[in-house]
Amino acid sequence: MNTEMPKEFFITTAIDYTNSPPHVGHAYEKVLADVIARYHRLKGEKVFFLTGVDQHGQKVQQSAAKAGIPPAEFVKDITQKFIDLWEKLDVKYDEWAETTSERHKKVVQGILQRLFDAGQIYKDKQAGHYSVRQEQFLTDKERGPDGEFGPEWGEIEFREEENYYFKLGQHKEWLLSYLDNRKDAVIPDFRQTELHNAVEKITGDLCISRPKSRLDWGIELPFDRDFVTYVWFDALTNYISFAGYDPSQSNIKHQTSNFLDKWPALQIIGKDILVPAHGIYWLIMLHAIGFPDDQMPQLLVHGWWNLGGAKMSKSEGNIIDPFVLIDKYGADALRYYLMRDITIGQDADFSEERLVTRYNSDLANSLGNLVSRTLTMAEKYCQRAVHVPEKDVIYRDPGAAYEGPFRRRIEVLAHTYKVSCEGDSTKSSAMDVAIAMMQPVEIAVQCNRFIEEKAPWKLAKHKSPQAATEINAVLYTVAETLRIIAILISPMLPKAADGIFDQLNWRMELSGKEERFSLTDAEWGRLPDGHFVGKPVPLFPRIEMDK
Ligand code: MSP
């Protein structure tokens, strides 16, 4: 495997089509990537998180024509919607990819020219049935059970067209052997199997162009200005063009350190674009331009958010607008739901009611309630100053071992965070991160139970020094647990983590900044003796569901 490990953690998502505004499905992928990126930053790693938009192509050209505006103007508006959404959702990327940018065009053209010079791209003629309405050639796959093309294709004519082709088929054996040798090329495992089966069926080459007479909203082929490149080289290449790849260097060792420090990436994509786009075309493209096997990206393939069991799609009119949800419930509520109610790799059904139920039970009743009751008790019983409990008080009697269970649990969890990405593969880590993120909320639930059990309000009635010592032990334990919970949930719930830190009066000088959170601080006992906590401010007000 890779002997020289990259110095930066490089994570990418698919770039989103700018033919329609973002929906909840787009939001999920970016939140998932953002949580993983923030988790690595929390561990003190340098992270390069790349995301962006896919602006060229037929769909965009058609949507712009329908709207009666030039494609450039059309994509500008939609691009802005994506940018606004990521800002609202606290998705913090390091680089933004737009496929219409000059920087990207140069890399695409450089790559195409090199492949053309190497004989990997050739011109050929295609003849067949063509749907004028959908502007595409039809194959037998498009025929209905009666053997005819359905009415959705509109008028069908016989056409001949010249185009450029990439010698994809030539690399089939390589891709099979690569997949055989690297078991975690694609995660989860069942997706790697699915890809392997699809690769076995590869026949023929890949059409990579469209005549300008048919599509002009794209990147011109450098060796034939009458054509633009169609989808694949235009979009997939963003993952390297925005990471500093130099197309004039075919030997990867001659790339700049800017690129080599990052690559290879962990790429997060939806299940619909594994086969053939990323799993076949992209990996073969990289191989053909000189990327060795140990420099192939790893593909993390997530499932879909559906609605009533059906795929969310604008044309079906069943999309969920993430802006509306954020305005109603807040960014953290949506982030939490999207991470909590799906298993990576599987599909899930979106339900606003479930979002509210999860929010109320996990965030309002557990975490939010824990913060507010802890600070209210601190105000009431110890003038907001929490003191490190004396060990012998804590452990003297097993019934009073307040600190023990949480301290251990928190330490184990912090340790899990620390190690889950170490080792020679990121295979389990991306999945583990998502699972680990749920645990701090579990600990909050147990912490609430602990408070109920110890009942400081009952102890307070004794008014004895022993009771005061015990109350303090409870409060310190819970405040310290909360401080560490805030660090551990910060990748998933950045706003809430900040709010907890503010209320605990902790690292106030960094309030509102991501640097405020670091895994090295997730160590038991850092809350100093006599620390003054702040006053409670509702963190997650309960949501009453509309009738
Ligand atoms: N532009 C292409 C990808 C090119 S990558 C070089 C594209 N765009 S997309 O806007 O249709 O989808 C972007 C990402 O969002 C894809 O990974 C896709 O799987 C994901 N999702 C789109 N709808 C989704 C759901 N309903 N649920 C989860 N993710 C989904 O594909």
CATH numbers and ranges of domains, the chain: 352-532 (1.10.730.10)
φ, ψ of residue 366 to 5 degrees: the values are -95, -70
> Can you read off the two tokens belonging to residue 212?
């300008």
The pLDDT, as a whole number, for residue 400 is 47
* Ligand 1 mutation pick, 11, 19, 31, 54, max ligand atoms within 8 A of CB: 54
**What residues have CB less than 8 Å from 139, skipping those under 6 apart?**
128
Residue with tokens 């009073």: 400
Would you tell me the crossing angle of helices 369-382 and 494-504 to the nearest 10 degrees?
A: 0
Strand partners, 118: none
- Give residue-wise pLDDT tens across range 177-189: 999 999 999 999 9
Atom of ligand 1 nearest to the CA of 17: 10
The pLDDT, as a whole number, for residue 470 is 87
Three-state DSSP at 149 gives: strand
* Ligand 1 mutation pick, 186, 272, 339, 350, max ligand atoms within 8 A of CB: 272
One-letter amino acid for residue 350 of the chain:
F
Distance 347 CA to ligand 1 centre (A): 14
Binding pocket residue ranges, ligand 1, CB within 6 Å: 14-17, 25-26, 28-29, 54, 235-236, 238, 269-270, 272-273, 304-305, 312
Closest C-alpha among 383, 394, 330, 395 to residue 540 = 330
Classify 244 in phi/psi space as left (phi over 0), alpha (psi -120 to 50) or beta. left
Gap between the Cα atoms of 547 and 543, Å rounded = 12
pTM passes above 0.85: yes
Closest C-alpha among 320, 328, 324, 357 to residue 341 = 357
The pLDDT, as a whole number, for residue 313 is 79
The pLDDT, as a whole number, for residue 427 is 45
* Ligand 1 mutation pick, 26, 54, 56, 85, max ligand atoms within 8 A of CB: 26
**What residues have CB less than 8 Å from 58, skipping those under 6 apart?**
135, 136, 210, 215, 217
The rounded average pLDDT for each run of 10 residues, N- to C-terminus, in the chain (547 residues) is: 74 96 97 96 96 95 94 97 98 98 98 98 94 84 90 91 97 98 95 98 95 95 97 97 98 97 97 97 98 97 94 84 97 97 95 97 97 98 92 47 66 77 53 85 90 92 89 92 96 97 98 95 94 97 82
User: Does residue 264 have a cis bond before it (omega within 30 degrees)?
Assistant: yes
Gap between the Cα atoms of 492 and 472, Å rounded = 30
CA angle 486, 492, 498 (to 5 degrees): 40
* Dihedral sign, Cα of residue 373, residue 376, residue 378, residue 384: positive
Q: Cβ(81)–Cβ(74) under 8 Å?
A: no
Q: Cβ(295)–Cβ(202) under 8 Å?
A: no
Q: Cβ(366)–Cβ(441) under 8 Å?
A: yes
**What residues have CB less than 8 Å from 123, skipping those under 6 apart?**
162, 163, 164, 165, 224
Gap between the Cα atoms of 376 and 542, Å rounded = 18
